[in-house]
């Protein structure tokens, strides 16, 4: 059986679900194809930044997001093994499936197609999505938002260029402190030899969640040792951590996610668009992945109505999405952040050593000002 829609979206993660919700809100006939009716557990995007939260609020998802998420509150920042700043934080913490659910809740139930997509075939005036059970969806535009899996992207004839096959390792786990505290802390790596960017601890529901980012390979001995005894590895790698936290242990499952950086070359095709990680990946260390998703979706939502009204989803139209100045600026910024974060963690050069000390001293100075200025204001006489 073949049905007809305006836009078929393959992949129901954050990118695909957000696009489906916004296009459906605009009155477009969409089909969101995914294997799962409810998004399964996944380790990514657990702490949206304040600007990312503000963008989701502006798109109308703020109420659902704040109900599902945990406010971080106050954040302590540690460099060179000592706390250099404490400041209020507007960050939110949320499990990725709950983040996806916040936007999927606004996708009409009639738009969801549960099943495995086996092929996307370009055709006159659009493309056809084929599912494993024989269903076919003819669409004027197909958007591939399948994230990291490459099978469907390559089956569509796209070629990924690998920029760094083992850029870093993201590790997620829960921590239990003897004190019972769930205070947020970001602890930057102390030694270049440890190849660590930072550890961030934050409250997530009733848990104290940890995300650790290291420039290591998934198959090396260090990764196996960390999985075997994560608490002891943390104490060895970050000797100032235990004095700050007191006795602690790692509880539950340790999830490791190797990060490879790639980009699709020559992505312009009639009737097919790639968004999010399906087009290009970024390192989670810098937190730019959700920015890329939001920008891709916002720019596509701005372009699609015009394409549909003109009956033009040819390669010439699709090219305007990839050439969009806001999209290109966002992609370029993500690449700069990836390179900067890695150099800050690993580069032994004098310039990068100076940057590390500059950040340390700047944060100490800001922390001192936050303490001194309120005290000085309290002592000042009232003006008449």
Q: Give the CA angle between residues 91, 94, 98 to the nearest 5°.
A: 140
* Average pLDDT of the residues in 6-28: 99
Partners of 92 in beta bridges = 71
* Average pLDDT of the residues in 95-102: 99
In this prediction, residue 42 has a pLDDT band, given cuts at 50, 70 and 90, of very high
**Residue 377 pLDDT exceeds 50:** no
Determine the Cα–Cα distance for residues 27 and 24; give it in Å rounded to an integer.
Answer: 5
**Residue 262 pLDDT exceeds 70:** yes
Superfamily of structural domain 2-71+93-163+262-342: FAD/NAD(P)-binding domain (3.50.50.60)
**Residue 229 pLDDT exceeds 90:** yes
pLDDT for residue 79: 87
**322 Cβ contact partners less than 8 Å away, ≥ 6 residues apart:** 267, 268, 328
* Average pLDDT of the residues in 97-122: 97
pLDDT for residue 378: 41
pLDDT for residue 370: 55
pLDDT for residue 249: 98
Residue listed under structure tokens 């922390």: 367
Judge whether 68 and 93 are in contact, CB under 8 Å: no
What does residue 214 show for φ and ψ, rounded to 5 degrees? Answer: -130, 150
Q: In this prediction, what percent of the chain has a pLDDT beyond 90?
A: 87
* Average pLDDT of the residues in 125-138: 95
* Average pLDDT of the residues in 19-33: 98
* Average pLDDT of the residues in 290-318: 97
* Average pLDDT of the residues in 352-379: 64
pLDDT for residue 290: 98
**Residue 376 pLDDT exceeds 50:** no
In this prediction, residue 10 has a pLDDT band, given cuts at 50, 70 and 90, of very high
Helix (H) or strand (E) holding 17: helix 14-25
**21 Cβ contact partners less than 8 Å away, ≥ 6 residues apart:** 103, 104, 106, 107
pLDDT for residue 356: 80
Determine the Cα–Cα distance for residues 206 and 199; give it in Å rounded to an integer.
Answer: 19
Burial class (CB in 10 A: 0-12, 13-18, 19+), 378: exposed
Lowest mean pLDDT among 65-74, 298-307, 352-361: 352-361
Residue listed under structure tokens 């303490």: 371
* Average pLDDT of the residues in 79-103: 95
Determine the Cα–Cα distance for residues 325 and 347; give it in Å rounded to an integer.
Answer: 31
């Amino acid at each position: 059986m073949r049905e007809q829609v305006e836009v078929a979206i393959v992949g129901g993660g954050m990118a695909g679900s957000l696009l489906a919700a916004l296009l459906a809100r605009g009155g477009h006939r969409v089909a969101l194809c995914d294997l799962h009716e409810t998004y399964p557990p996944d380790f990514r995007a657990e702490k949206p930044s304040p600007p990312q939260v503000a963008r989701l609020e502006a798109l109308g998802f703020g109420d659902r997001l704040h109900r599902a998420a945990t406010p971080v509150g106050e954040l302590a920042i540690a460099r060179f093994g000592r706390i250099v700043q404490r400041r209020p934080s507007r960050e939110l913490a949320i499990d990725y499936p709950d983040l996806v659910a916040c936007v999927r809740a606004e996708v009409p139930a009639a738009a969801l197609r549960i099943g495995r997509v086996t092929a996307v075939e370009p055709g006159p005036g659009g493309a056809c999505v084929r599912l494993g059970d024989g269903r076919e969806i003819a669409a004027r535009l197909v958007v591939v938002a399948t994230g990291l899996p490459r099978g469907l992207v390559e089956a569509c004839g796209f070629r990924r260029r690998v920029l760094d096959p083992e850029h870093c390792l993201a590790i997620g786990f829960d921590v239990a402190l003897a004190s019972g505290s769930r205070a947020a802390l970001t602890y930057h790596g102390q030694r270049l030899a440890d190849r660590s960017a930072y550890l961030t601890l934050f409250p997530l529901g009733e848990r104290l969640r940890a995300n650790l980012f290291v420039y290591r390979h998934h198959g090396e001995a260090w990764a196996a040792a960390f999985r075997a005894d994560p608490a002891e590895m943390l104490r060895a790698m970050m000797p100032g951590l235990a004095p700050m936290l007191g006795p602690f242990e790692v509880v539950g499952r340790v999830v490791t996610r190797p990060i490879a950086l790639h980009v699709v070359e020559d992505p312009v095709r009639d009737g097919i668009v790639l968004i999010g990680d399906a087009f290009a990946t970024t390192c989670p260390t810098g937190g730019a992945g959700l920015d890329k998703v939001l920008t891709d979706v916002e720019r596509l939502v701005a372009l699609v109505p015009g394409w549909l009204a003109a009956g033009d989803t040819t390669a010439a139209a699709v090219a305007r999405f990839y050439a969009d100045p806001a999209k290109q600026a966002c992609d370029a910024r993500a690449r700069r952040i990836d390179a900067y974060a890695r150099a800050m963690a690993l580069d032994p050069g004098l310039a990068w050593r100076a940057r590390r000390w500059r950040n340390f001293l700047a944060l100490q100075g800001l922390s001192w000002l936050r303490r001194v200025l309120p005290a000085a204001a309290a002592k000042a006489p009232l003006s008449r």
